[in-house]
Amino acid sequence: MSARASAHQVPPSATNGRFRYERDHPRYRWVALSNTTLGVLMATINSSIVIISLPAIFRGIQLNPLAPGNVSYLLWMIMGFLLVSAVLVVSIGRLGDMYGRVRIYTYGFVVFTAASIALALDPFIHSSGALWLIGWRVVQGIGGAMLFANSTAILTDAFPSDQRGTSLGINQVAAIAGSFLGLLIGGLLSEWNWRAVFWVSVPFGILGTIWSYRSLHELGVRTRGSLDWAGNLTFALGLTALLAGITYGIQPFGGHTMGWTNPWVLAALIGGVALLVAFCVIESRIADPMFHLGLFRNRAFSAGNLAGLLASIGRGGMQFMLIIWLQGIWLPLRGYDFASTPLWAGIYLVPLTIGFLVAGPISGYLSDRYGARAFATGGLLLVTVTFAGLLMLPVEFPYWAFAALIGLNGIGSGLFSSPNTSAIMNSVPASQRGAASGMRGTFFNSGTSLSIGIFFSLMIIGLASTLPGTLTSSLKAQGVPTTVAEHVGHLPPVGSLFAAFLGYNPMAQLLGPTGVLDHLPSASVATLTGKEFFPRLISAPFHHGLVIVFLAAAMMTLVGAFASLLRGQRYVHDERLAHPARDLPDDQGAAV
């Protein structure tokens, strides 16, 4: 049955035999798993592939991302995709419950593929080229949200509860491993051509569209109803304002190193929280809500999502910090050119991916037999230990110690993610799986977005206390006049942080407009613009900030482990609710 035919399918109660056959047929389960795994892998690879490729992309459109006024382009190149994916997954999940999960999921492939083609064909340069990329990244994020919101629900429909841990584990491993693989793939492709970063998704998008259309079946319970416009708008606008405000808070404002006193940032934060409160009020009173807030009364659902949010924030923050550490400091100090550091950063982060790929499917399989709590809680505790280990490493660390710690971190994340996802989806009734999957995706994607604002802010706080003095004294030692050295030294540290994040050497840009480089001895110019001056200069202030960042990440994952521990014994919502022909109460479930 094709996706087109399934859109007009009669309710399962009318064709109970066919419904049961399709659900229980072993071949169909693995078709659904392989297709949805392709979808989430493609989407999550694209969430990080651009991060590692930003230097090549900005060189390709001939735009300096560190120039005054261009930092916003840099932020929205990162945030556009993540923000839209976080905001829309609940609404799209609800649409899947109403109009068919397979239909919305298949359209997600179409939207994603079209946006990828448009990104690769960017006809502009400079700011126009950046705006074109940002706009189509937003469209690509819409397609990603359509894939995210429905893939988990499709799998939950296809697999019985005693196999969901394995299937959702594989799918979740693909989702998170994609964010790690994107770093490696982006590093490789951006070395060749920046447009290839976007072209790589096109053949997989076309394959996924055709495969989904021809092979996936609509097995879910469809809940007809009207679209909750008030709930959708307040949720989307509130979450957008909140995440955008947190992101813009890291930019300098009015002589301050950060923008938390910016009236627009404050308005976004306060207004975003107010709209989300209004969303909760609306959803509690409307007859046909976008999301049933009563699901949060289920301890397995609420504790799992809280643990997932905190784990996602910690994982996203770690990813950004490791990129800065490798690209801006560690690799240049070992003689790597700044232009090649994105590629090598992806290569040196491979142990993180391997650890996750090994632990994820195994923990998903075991959680089917023994429950999620022990694996999920133990995984987050292991992640906490690795954060403590990372903050104890010196800036110029021995690679074996770094590889061991990030490998263990990947194992801990794999132990947590698969069982946690399975426990969340097992705890909800069949009619709410689309919206529940969307809410889980919102927490997952919001965590990555929040990590940008939270951890960059913490790092800037650490840099602001030590970088100005270090930068000023180092420039004066190379013969830079005192007035120029003090001016450059007291510039907002966010510029130096983004330079390290992108693998740029900012000295030529900072000193070039002053004309100082034209009057310094050639040896001093070579030192200032060489591979080692900026990395050595920033290493001590960066380590000071790194201790703050990883300490905060360790505390978050420790709280997440405690939340995971409180999820209770294994709970599986009664699967007979998947068959509306049987008369059962809506809240019936089974504690296993």
d(CA 484, CA 330): 28
Q: Which residues contact 17 (CB under 8 A, 6 or more apart)?
A: none
Q: Which residues contact 263 (CB under 8 A, 6 or more apart)?
A: none
pLDDT tens digits, residue range 346-359? Answer: 789 889 888 888 88
Element at 128 (helix H, strand E): helix 126-158
Residues of the chain above pLDDT 90, percent: 22
Q: Is the pLDDT of residue 585 over 70?
A: no
Say what the alpha-carbon torsion angle 129, 130, 131, 136 is, to the nearest 10 degrees. Answer: 90
Confidence (pLDDT) at 196: 92
Listed residues 252, 287, 322: the one ending a domain: 287
Q: Are residues 139 and 254 in the same domain?
A: no
Find, among 36, 47, 292, 39, the residue nearest to 164 by Cα: 36
| DSSP-assigned states of every residue in 105-127 | HHHHHHHHHHHHHHHHT----HH
Output 115 or 64, whichever has higher pLDDT: 115
Report the range out of 28-32, 168-172, 294-298, 387-391 with the highest average pLDDT. 387-391
Q: Are residues 274 and 309 in the same domain?
A: no
Residue 571 lies in a domain: yes
Output phi, psi for 92, to 5 deg. -70, -35
**What is the number of residues in the chain?**
592
Q: Are residues 26 and 97 in the same domain?
A: yes
Residue 264 domain boundaries:
229-287
Q: Are residues 293 and 346 in the same domain?
A: yes
Q: What is the pTM of this model?
A: 0.79
Residue 326 lies in a domain: yes
Residue 473 lies in a domain: no
Written as one letter, the residue type at 562 is F
What is the CB neighbour count within 10 angstroms for residue 55? 20
pLDDT tens digits, residue range 363-414? Answer: 877 877 787 888 999 999 999 999 999 989 998 999 999 999 999 999 999 8
Q: Are residues 276 and 355 in the same domain?
A: no
We report the CATH number of the domain holding residue 78 as 1.20.1250.20
Q: What's the total number of domains in the chain?
A: 2
Q: Are residues 48 and 165 in the same domain?
A: yes
In angstroms, what CA-CA distances link 88 with 134, 139, 167, 179, 348?
17, 11, 24, 19, 34
Q: Are residues 311 and 202 in the same domain?
A: yes
Listed residues 267, 287, 307: the one ending a domain: 287
pLDDT tens digits, residue range 182-216? Answer: 877 887 888 788 999 999 999 999 999 999 998 88
d(CA 372, CA 61): 47
Find, among 162, 119, 166, the residue nearest to 143 by Cα: 119
Residue 506 lies in a domain: no
Tell me the β-bridge partners of 253. Answer: 256
Residue 485 lies in a domain: no
What would the two tokens of residue 146 be? 């359509």
Report the range out of 105-119, 221-235, 253-267, 304-318 with the highest average pLDDT. 105-119
Q: Are residues 421 and 557 in the same domain?
A: yes
Residue 509 lies in a domain: no
Confidence (pLDDT) at 590: 42
Q: Is the pLDDT of residue 17 over 60?
A: no
Confidence (pLDDT) at 577: 41
CA-based max dimension of the chain: 87
Q: Are residues 49 and 180 in the same domain?
A: yes
Listed residues 241, 264, 287: the one ending a domain: 287
Q: Is the pLDDT of residue 338 over 80?
A: no
Q: Are residues 397 and 442 in the same domain?
A: yes
In angstroms, what CA-CA distances link 172 with 25, 39, 241, 419, 553?
23, 11, 28, 9, 21
Contact yes or no for 167/325 (Cβ under 8 A) = no
Residue 319 lies in a domain: yes
Residue 206 lies in a domain: yes
Alpha helix stretches (DSSP H) within 482-521: 482-489, 494-502, 507-511
pLDDT tens digits, residue range 277-296? Answer: 998 898 888 877 777 788 88
The pLDDT of 529-553, averaged and rounded, is: 86
Q: Are residues 142 and 108 in the same domain?
A: yes
> How distant is the alpha carbon of residue 536 from its chain centre?
30
Report the range out of 76-85, 222-231, 575-584 with the highest average pLDDT. 76-85
Confidence (pLDDT) at 220: 62
Q: Are residues 295 and 247 in the same domain?
A: no
